[in-house]
Amino acid sequence: MAPRQTARQQQDRETTRIEVRPRRLGLLVGGSGLIGGTIVHYFKKNVPGVELMAPNSKKLSLREPEDIRRYCDKYQPDFIINTAIAAINSDAQLAYEVNYLGAIQLAEIARKRNIPFIHVSSAAVMPPGHDLDESRRLPLTARMSNYAKSKLMAELTLEHMGRHGGLDYTILRLAVVYGKHDHKIQGFHRLLFTIADRSMPVLLTSRGICHSYSHSKKLPPLIHYLLNNREEFSCQTYNFVDQKPVELAELILTIRSYLDLPTPRRIFVPYPVAKTGRTVIFWILRKMSRIGIDARLPAELMFMENFYQSQTLSPARLLNSSYRDPHAEVTVISALPELIEYYITRWQHFRLLSTFNEEFYRPDNGLEEFRQAPELLLEKIHRNRYTV
């Protein structure tokens, strides 16, 4: 017969049960993108007390409200992060259903469950200008691009749900995003690719045009902090950008210098000339499509006017909060060497660069010996105990 437990032993057991807490479960939508993928990696590596689910579009489609409801009923998340977006050149239906309706459906589930909702937005909702604070937004009109219109509507509805429905939300507004591990060539990475491929002979901008930049690696620690400090950050919008903006011409010429290329030359193309050139290219591409050749202009050229207009966002609100950026010293300029090494190596591997020096930034890992003298490489690896 087992001995009876003392009152102290019973109390210790109950205290132990109270202290053991279940892991928090989060839902991230948009995990296949640069921002979403970076957040998933951060939580997996640095936040052992949280499991972050990032279902693909086959398991949870923002265009299917029933998918969202069923998934959340099944897994009961403790918070939701939305980084999903339709491509910037998407048609009205896709932008509306993904960027707006999808975001609002996620927010409504968060509201009903009384859990935090973190929404990643875009500086596309803001006008051009310098040192723009969070209150500066474009007026909502039918003439806006589908992308900007849908992102702006999402922000406005989230604020309405916070005021009138009790939604616990935080909006993080990003500018030009840069970072590693982006499998798509878009935004900043399109600029880098264009220079590396020597497709930009001159500067498609004007002197003094500056933009703000957002580092994808800086975002996950902030989101982690926001989730643990809801009282301060609930129902707030923050510009999430590096502290100092960068002149576009300086960025382009710095990339050129790192790549040791002769182009683009320091010749500034006036906007009317650049706009005319874009119109001509669009006309040629339409003609080519009629004979069965599918050629498309990069989506970023839809927003060519942004190359000729400054847009810098004020980081003051976030800087004045209790959050401290652990990577505050990192900027798009200081990050260029590692970004160039990563992307040039990747694009060379997939043979995407047609004119670039194939030996640039190639690691000395025995590849040339593998090509030219495999027997010598094999002997060296065996001699070095299976290391190159």
CA-wise closest residue to 259 among 190, 184, 198? 198
Whether the CB-CB separation of 177 and 187 falls below 8 Å is answered with yes
Residue 5 lies in a domain: no
The reported pLDDT for the residue numbered 91 is: 87
Residue 322: which CATH number? 3.40.50.720
Tell me the residue range of the domain where 287 lies: 178-211+246-309+328-357
3-class SS letters over 214-267? EEHHHHHHHHHHHHHCHHHHCCEEEEECCCCCEEHHHHHHHHHHHHCCCCCCCC
Residue 51 lies in a domain: yes
Q: What is the pLDDT of residues 80-108, one digit of tens each?
A: 999 999 988 888 999 999 999 999 999 99
- Residue 197 sits in the same domain as residue 139: no
The reported pLDDT for the residue numbered 123 is: 97
Block residue for tokens 């972050």: 52
Reply yes or no on whether the pLDDT at 137 is more than 90.
yes
Whether the CB-CB separation of 58 and 8 falls below 8 Å is answered with no
Residue 294 lies in a domain: yes
- Residue 66 sits in the same domain as residue 132: yes
- Residue 141 sits in the same domain as residue 164: yes
Residue 142 lies in a domain: yes
- Residue 343 sits in the same domain as residue 196: yes
Q: What is the pTM of this model?
A: 0.83
Q: What is the pLDDT of residues 287-327, one digit of tens each?
A: 666 666 555 555 555 567 888 999 999 999 999 999 999 99
Q: What is the pLDDT of residues 350-372, one digit of tens each?
A: 787 765 555 555 555 665 666 67
- Residue 151 sits in the same domain as residue 268: no
- Residue 108 sits in the same domain as residue 186: no
The reported pLDDT for the residue numbered 255 is: 95
Reply yes or no on whether the pLDDT at 170 is more than 60.
yes
Instruction: Give yes or no for a cis peptide into 264 (omega within 30° of 0).
Output: yes
Q: What is the pLDDT of residues 1-15, one digit of tens each?
A: 445 555 555 555 544
Taking CA 197 as the corner, what is the angle to CA 191 and CA 199, rounded to the nearest 5 degrees?
70
Residues 179-203 have a mean pLDDT of 86
| The most confident of 52-66, 128-142, 290-304, by mean pLDDT | 128-142
- Residue 151 sits in the same domain as residue 192: no
Reply yes or no on whether the pLDDT at 17 is more than 60.
no
pLDDT bin (cut points 50, 70, 90) of residue 278 is: low
The reported pLDDT for the residue numbered 96 is: 92
- Residue 30 sits in the same domain as residue 162: yes
Q: Which two tokens stand for residue 358?
A: 């194939």
pLDDT bin (cut points 50, 70, 90) of residue 163 is: very high
Give strand ranges (E) for the chain: 24-29, 50-53, 79-82, 117-122, 129-132, 169-174, 176-178, 210-211, 213-215, 236-240, 246-247, 311-313
- Residue 282 sits in the same domain as residue 270: yes
Residues 264-281 have a mean pLDDT of 80
- Residue 69 sits in the same domain as residue 100: yes
Q: What percent of the chain has pLDDT above 70?
A: 82
- Residue 108 sits in the same domain as residue 66: yes
Close Cβ partners of 12 (under 8 Å, ≥ 6 residues apart): none
Q: Which range is least confidently modeled, 37-41, 144-148, 180-184?
A: 180-184
Helix (H, G, I), strand (E, B) or coil at 181: coil
CA gap 8, 211 in Å, rounded: 64
Residue 8 lies in a domain: no
CA-wise closest residue to 303 among 187, 154, 175, 134? 187
- Residue 289 sits in the same domain as residue 371: no
Number of domains in the chain: 3
Residues 115-143 have a mean pLDDT of 96
The reported pLDDT for the residue numbered 375 is: 77
Q: What percent of the chain has pLDDT above 90?
A: 59
CA torsion angle 224 108 125 275 (round to 10):
110
Higher pLDDT, 351 or 261: 261
Residue 12 lies in a domain: no
CA-wise closest residue to 246 among 282, 213, 217, 290? 213
Residues 34-61 have a mean pLDDT of 92
Give me the residues paired with residue 53 across strands.
27
Residue 26 lies in a domain: yes
Residue 369 lies in a domain: yes
